Structure 1
Amino acid sequence: MNQRKRKKLSRRLCTAVLLRDRTLVKALLRAGADPERANSEGTTPLYQASVNGEAEIARLLLAAGASPDAESSGLGAEGTPLCAAACWGHAEAVRELLVHGADPNLHEDHGTGLSPLDWAHHGPHPETVALLVAAGAIPRR
């Protein structure tokens, strides 16, 4: 597949994730959309799915090769998918990310920001805190 077609598919993928259209996400991934390509603002599809608590879409993206720890840099959408899901207490999305290898101790902003556990505590989202601790998240001292 040529680069131009793959880029177009990836743009459509970002829109499908934003619209929470699981069927279209599946079709676009099958057609060759890049699950890691960010939109023009820098927001990755996995970040968008995670911040909205779309665990099934996150699972599709992860199965297609999206990195669970890739930071998004979109305006108002910066950080890791796990931090995004933890911030809003999206326990199912947190579970999915952890199952696919997301680092529960990875701080956003390239290691200088908050961790998923910090965000879950700020919620407060006790179920998410428990999931992260069970996965090995270490609280700040």
Structure 2
Amino acid sequence: MNRRRRKKSATRLVAAADSGDLAAVRAALRAGADPGAPDAEGTTALYAASVQGATDVVGALLAAGAAPDAESAGTGAEGTSLCAAACWGHTGTVRALLAHGADPDLREDGGTGLTPLEWALRGQHAGTAEVLRAAGAAVTSAGG
């Protein structure tokens, strides 16, 4: 696949993931879209689906080979998928990411940002924080 087609397929995949459209995500993957490739803005499909709490889409992307700890770099879409899901209290999505090996203690922003547990606590998502603690997330200075 040439560079232009890869960019278009990544853009379609991220848009489908952002809208939670599992059928469109699966179609894009069958057509050869790279599950970990960012769109032109730098946003990954896994991050977009995690923000939306689209657990089924997250599962499909992970099964297709998306790296659970990869950082998205799109404007307004920076960070790890686990941090994004934790920030919004999407507990099912957090569970799916953890089940596929996401690191519950990984700080986003290249290791200088917040952990998923810190995001969950800031958002007052007690259930999500408990899932992260059960997965081994360390108690943080954010009051955890």
| Range into which the TM-score falls when normalised by the shorter chain | over 0.9
Structural RMSD (CA): 1.2
The residue type equivalent to 1:127 in the other structure is: G
> Deviation of residue 76 (structure 1)?
1.1
8 Å contact from structure 1 (residues 7, 33) kept in 2:
no
**Which residue in 2 is equivalent to 1:117?**
117
8 Å contact from structure 2 (residues 82, 97) kept in 1:
yes
**How high is the TM-score relative to the length of structure 2?**
0.93
Whether 1:102 and 2:102 are equivalent positions in the alignment is yes
Hey, what's the Cα distance between the residues in 1 that align with 2:140 and 2:5?
Answer: 45
Give the match's secondary structure for 1:110.
Answer: helix
Hey, what's the Cα distance between the residues in 1 that align with 2:83 and 2:21?
Answer: 23
**How high is the TM-score relative to the length of structure 1?**
0.95
> Deviation of residue 6 (structure 1)?
3.3
Hey, what's the Cα distance between the residues in 2 that align with 1:17 and 1:97?
Answer: 15
Hey, what's the Cα distance between the residues in 2 that align with 1:78 and 1:43?
Answer: 7
TM alignment of 1:15-34, pairs within 5 A: 15-34=15-34
**Which residue in 1 is equivalent to 2:54?**
54
The residue type equivalent to 1:19 in the other structure is: S
The residue type equivalent to 1:108 in the other structure is: E
Hey, what's the Cα distance between the residues in 1 that align with 2:3 and 2:112?
Answer: 34
Q: Per-residue displacement from partner, 1:6-36 (whole Å, max 9, x unpaired)?
A: 3322221111112221101011111110111
The residue type equivalent to 1:57 in the other structure is: V
The residue type equivalent to 1:45 in the other structure is: A
Hey, what's the Cα distance between the residues in 2 that align with 1:56 and 1:126?
Answer: 22
**Which residue in 2 is equivalent to 1:140?**
140
For structure 1, which runs of at least 5 residues remain unmatched after alignment? none
The alignment covers a number of residue pairs equal to 141
Q: Which 4+ stretches in 1 moved above 2 angstroms?
A: 1-8
> Deviation of residue 99 (structure 1)?
0.3
Hey, what's the Cα distance between the residues in 1 that align with 2:79 and 2:43?
Answer: 9
Q: Percent identity?
A: 59
